[in-house]
Structure 1
Amino acid sequence: MGHVRSSASEEVLMSIESSSTASRLGEFEIHLRTHRYAAAIQRRYLWIAQRFVDYLGRQCIAVEAAHAPECEDFLRWELRSWRRRYRRDPRNIFEWRRRYKTVMNVFLRLVHGHWPAIGTPVTAIEAFHRDLAQGYDAWMRELRGQASGTRSTRTTQALEFLTELGPRGEQESLAHLGVRDIDAYLQQRCKGLRRRTIEGYTVCLRSFLRYLHGSGRTALDLSSTVIGPRIYDDEQVPSALRPEEVQTVLEATRQDYSPIGRRDYALLMLLATYGLRAGEIVTLRLEDIDWQKESLRVRHSKTGAVSELPLLREPGEAVLSYLEKARPESERREVFLQVRAPYQAYKGGSILNCVIGARLKMAGITPRGRKGPHAFRHARAVSLLRAAVPLKIIGDVLGHRSAESAAVYLKLATEDLRAVGLNIPKEVLS
């Protein structure tokens, strides 16, 4: 009798889980439709999601309990199934994994509310490291006033450092951390890296060691023992595109009337005209453009200052063409949106690296030095210098705190310096 009752209970539980799974898949389908994914993409996403939840069901794992390890287990299982079915590996296994993971990320973000989900630390040392990282983040935010991007980078580096310490990273051992531990980590971590990269790691490590001592986690303040390479101000000459290269890229992009072409042309026109930083362009909002007053409001990412710039005809027309003929319909207020569903705003300025790389290649230009947004920014600075615009105004346009920050661009005007003839007395030459 007890066995019958147990079987009935199991059937009820299975029925509830099946109903929950069907509900999740239904929500996923509505999500894809609402965000206007293409019909073919919807079918592929739903097919992969169905296989994923079927796999979880066979493992007796609820969808809500799925985290990164379960995703990796599913990918391994799915790859074995592929090999049995086709008797070979996918042509590009990395692309195959990327497609599956993209679907699982969208699906699990819907399930958890955010993804990757914040899992519970498995071991005591993981829990200790997480507590340290959270305390460090709060210290940087409240006492140092550091930006979220800086805090994210430094907490990531701190967790990496703690992990590399191994048993020395446990709570009791950390109190006796010494110079040898620091040296061993830096030798391993910085092998083969460039000086500026090494300098960045040492800055992060010094900050974390300062926090550890200040919070009583370590007996000694080891921050002063971390010595990075000396980096001199303005030791490198910034790279810039030549004016004719900028015009060639703009003209080649202008002739591309596809939605991507119109987006790229608007992005490049803003870069070339105003010398904006990549992050300042992708965070532009519709209300930042005043078409009646012909003005453009820019929030400078480094200084936090806001500039009101004149909206010039050519960049204005490029942006208007994008908005009218290429920008996806969306309730989002950012000017530039992703070209594929779900048409989100860009999370960072890295999209401009992709755009510029592709457009330079299309135009047949291989510039020396940096090829990203700063090459356009530097080119704009040089053009302003050659037009005899004062450094203070150049600094204001480019969003620098001071004229001294803009002075680095003087190095780029070398051709102008060569054109200046020195009137040397003949007796000096004789």
Structure 2
Amino acid sequence: MTWQEKIKDFEIFLRFERNFSENTLDAYIRDIRKLKEYSEESLDNIGPDVITYDHIQQYIFLLSKQKFSERSQARWISSIKAFFKYLVEDEIREDNPATLLEGPKLGLYLPDTLSLPDINRIINAIEVSTDLGKRNQCIIEVLYGCGLRVSELIELKISNINFNEKFIKVTGKGDKTRLVPLADYTSELLKNYIQDVRSKNKINKKHEDCLFLNSRGTSMSRVIVFLIIKELTDKAGVNKKISPHTFRHSFATHLLQNGADLRYIQEMLGHSSITTTEIYTHLKTEELRDVILNYHPRNINITQ
């Protein structure tokens, strides 16, 4: 039995029995392949059926010294635990060497958000006089205006946009679909992009229904969207570490700040649990705290 063989079996298990999303699946398999490489290079290529807790603990220790974030470390351990639990269930091993692994204690994760002025600065940095700029403007406006994940953005289909009723049908994690409202402004931008820009492209037949296309007439990759945002952020002089997900966080935060009900935000984001959405209430609490510290007379008197 080889690592490669069991990693392939594990991938099939996660994909078809656990129904993992492509992004989560890729992360888990990548983590186990790193453990495989460690085994090959440092443990005389011992197999997954005989590797021990001490081996894995040493591997995790070495990784932790490479300045990876605590969240990354927690995911490695989650991946490794899932892999060896699978091997036990598949009767490849009788024991689980990962049972006693403990991940780092994670504090409350508050995602980065952008202010509306920052978002406008990024959008204003786009050269909308070009077709490429018009496409990129639409990408940013859909990320921010609809709160999409980048994977949902690049998989958007024209046939899933209802311009009459002003909503888009989005396929999210676990192939769950949801309806996200389209603001009139975003709807008009999309109409103009489809009619005036996208129609000029030479489109690959397999991608005729894809909304956003690259220069080859095929669907865009996640990497390209990241690069577009990085270039625009640098150009706009916004000094924050920004990803496509930052616009999703900003979408939710701005809705909450303006009085939207948390349950509606949950539906629009496609969160299966309200607990996930509640992170944005912590952001609002942080904002209220800043207001008190900066503007309450008692605090002003103390700091002056």
Alignment of structure 1 residues 405-424 onto 2, 5 Å: 405-413=276-284, 414-416=286-288, 419=291
Pick one of 321, 326, 342 that aligns with 2:192. Answer: 321
How far off is 1:219 after superposition? 4.3
Partner residue in 2 for 1:129 = 3
Q: Which whole-Å deviations, capped at 9, do the CAs of 1:357-388 have from their partners, x for residues lacking one?
A: 11122222223xx4112222222222211221
Q: TM (normalized to structure 1)?
A: 0.60
Q: Which whole-Å deviations, capped at 9, do the CAs of 1:370-409 have from their partners, x for residues lacking one?
A: 4112222222222211221111111112222233322211
Q: 1:236 to 1:188 in 2, by over 3 A?
A: same
How far off is 1:168 after superposition? 5.0
Q: 1:175 to 1:364 in 2, by over 3 A?
A: closer
Larger radius of gyration: 1
How far off is 1:148 after superposition? 4.1
Percentage of identical aligned residues: 19
Q: 1:136 to 1:418 in 2, by over 3 A?
A: closer
Q: TM (normalized to structure 2)?
A: 0.83
Partner residue in 2 for 1:163 = 37
- Report the AA paired with residue 391 of structure 1: L
Q: 1:316 to 1:143 in 2, by over 3 A?
A: closer
Q: Is contact 1:272-1:380 (8 Å) kept?
A: yes
Is 1:379 aligned with 2:254? no
Q: 1:359 to 1:161 in 2, by over 3 A?
A: same
Pick one of 230, 237, 255 that aligns with 1:364. Answer: 237
Partner residue in 2 for 1:4 = none
Query: How many residues are aligned here?
Result: 287
Pick one of 226, 241, 250 that aligns with 2:123. Answer: 250
How far off is 1:310 after superposition? 3.3
Q: 1:248 to 1:154 in 2, by over 3 A?
A: closer
Q: Secondary structure at the match of 1:224?
A: coil
**Equivalents in 1 of 2:111, 2:214: separation in Å?**
30
Q: Which whole-Å deviations, capped at 9, do the CAs of 1:207-236 have from their partners, x for residues lacking one?
A: 12222333333342212122221224xx13
Q: Is contact 2:21-2:174 (8 Å) kept?
A: no
- Give the RMSD, CA atoms, in angstroms: 2.7
Q: Secondary structure at the match of 2:114?
A: coil
How far off is 1:260 after superposition? 1.5
Partner residue in 1 for 2:224 = 351
- Report the AA paired with residue 131 of structure 2: P
Q: Which whole-Å deviations, capped at 9, do the CAs of 1:234-260 have from their partners, x for residues lacking one?
A: x1322111111112222332x522122
Partner residue in 2 for 1:334 = 210
Q: 1:244 to 1:308 in 2, by over 3 A?
A: same
Q: Is contact 2:167-2:180 (8 Å) kept?
A: yes
How far off is 1:287 after superposition? 0.2
Pick one of 140, 146, 170 that aligns with 1:298. Answer: 170
Q: Secondary structure at the match of 2:32?
A: helix
Pick one of 86, 103, 107 that aligns with 1:228. Answer: 103
Q: Secondary structure at the match of 2:125?
A: helix
Partner residue in 2 for 1:42 = none
Q: Secondary structure at the match of 1:223?
A: coil
- Report the AA paired with residue 188 of structure 2: E
Q: Secondary structure at the match of 2:99?
A: helix
Q: Is contact 1:303-1:401 (8 Å) kept?
A: no
Is 1:281 aligned with 2:153? yes
Q: Secondary structure at the match of 1:395?
A: helix
Q: Which whole-Å deviations, capped at 9, do the CAs of 1:258-281 have from their partners, x for residues lacking one?
A: 122011100111122122221111
**Equivalents in 2 of 1:139, 1:306: separation in Å?**
23
Q: 1:412 to 1:163 in 2, by over 3 A?
A: closer
**Equivalents in 2 of 1:407, 1:259: separation in Å?**
39
Q: Is contact 2:73-2:104 (8 Å) kept?
A: yes
How far off is 1:282 after superposition? 1.1
Gaps of 5+ in 2: 299-304
Pick one of 188, 198, 201 that aligns with 2:76. Answer: 201
**Equivalents in 2 of 1:379, 1:372: separation in Å?**
11
Greater relative contact order (Cα 8 A, min sep 6): structure 1 or 2? 2
Q: Is contact 1:176-1:219 (8 Å) kept?
A: no
